[in-house]
Amino acid sequence: MTRSSEGLSPQLHAYIVDHSTPVDSVLTDLVEETARLFPDHKGMQIGPEQGVFTTLLTRICGAREIVEVGTFTGYSSLCFARGLPDDGRLLALDISEEWTSVARRYWERAGVADKITLRIGPALESLRELPEEPRFDLAFLDADKEGYVDYWEELVPRVRPGGLILADNTLSHGRVVDTTNTSPAVQGIRDFNRRLVEDDRVTQVLLPLGDGLTLARKD
């Protein structure tokens, strides 16, 4: 796994990061601590350029209510929360107490903890417990890839018209175009990408940012 943008040389990736708003010491420390505590999972965090992009996007669209599916140690949630206004809220969904306990510490340190509500449990159940009302301005999908289509079907009705849905890893490290790869995770992403093309409720683009970041607008 990598936290670089798919298909870019390390030099070009470094150049992009160096010419975007710098990553601060809170996020740098979070990356280092995650790598130290969970070396087998450190690649699960979104990349630095994706982090800046999500903060910017949150501000550009004026989001006040965000839902995140897949929080891990908190990198992406911290970036979204930083883009929210003071009274903005982010609902973070994850299944792991252990991983999100790190997130909680970094949300405190970054001064965004009061904007974030964490719900532990299978995210599909947590989403289905929410009223089917168009409440969210922005949704971020970054959990188990086999579940992406099901998450999508729960998210779309809960995002307001004009709201955005972002989904990470939609290139699956290039494996989406490797027809010999039939792993459930890769197939889950292919099914998701195809579902969006067929879904006339949204306009979307698959951006080659990080490991593929799909940006969809509910029309």
Ligand X SMILES: C[S@@+](CC[C@H](N)C(=O)[O-])C[C@H]1O[C@@H](n2cnc3c(N)ncnc32)[C@H](O)[C@@H]1O
Instruction: Please report whether residue 72 would count as binding ligand X according to CB under 6 A.
Output: yes
In the set 143, 164, 186, 215, which binds ligand X (CB under 6 A)?
A: 143
Question: By C-beta, is 65 or 80 nearer to ligand X?
Answer: 80
Q: Is 96 in the site for ligand X (CB under 6 A)?
A: yes
Contact flag: residue 46 with ligand X (CB under 6 A): yes
Measure the N-to-C terminal CA separation of the chain; round to a whole number of Å: 34
State yes or no: residue 70 binds ligand X (CB under 6 A). Answer: yes
Question: What phi, psi does 204 have (nearest 5°)?
Answer: -145, 160
**Residue with smaller CB distance to ligand X, 95 or 206:** 95
Minimum CB distance to ligand X, residue 219 (Å): 26
Applying CB under 6 A, does 106 fall inside the site for ligand X?
A: no
User: What does the block give as tokens for 210?
Assistant: 């990080």
Residue 44 Cα distances to 141, 156, 168, angstroms: 13, 24, 10
For ligand X, the binding residue among 99, 136, 148, 192 (CB under 6 A) is 99
Tell me: does residue 154 bind ligand X (CB under 6 A): no
The nearer residue to ligand X, 128 or 201, going by C-beta atoms, is 128
Out of 94, 137, 154, 211, the residue judged to bind ligand X by CB under 6 A: 94
Residue 77 vs 193, nearer CB to ligand X: 77
Please identify, using beta-carbon distances, which residue of 72 and 192 lies nearer to ligand X. Answer: 72
Question: Which of the ranges 11-19, 72-80, 191-199, 206-214 carries the binding residues for ligand X, by CB under 6 A?
Answer: 72-80
Q: 164, exposed or middle or buried, with CB in 10 Å at 0-12, 13-18, 19+?
A: buried
Residue whose CB is less far from ligand X, 97 or 201: 97
What sign for the dihedral angle of Cα 4, 82, 63, 75?
positive
Q: Please report how close the Cβ of residue 161 comes to ligand X at its closest, in angstroms.
A: 25
Catalog residues that contact ligand X under the rule CB under 6 A.
44-46, 70-73, 75-76, 93-96, 99, 122-123, 142-144
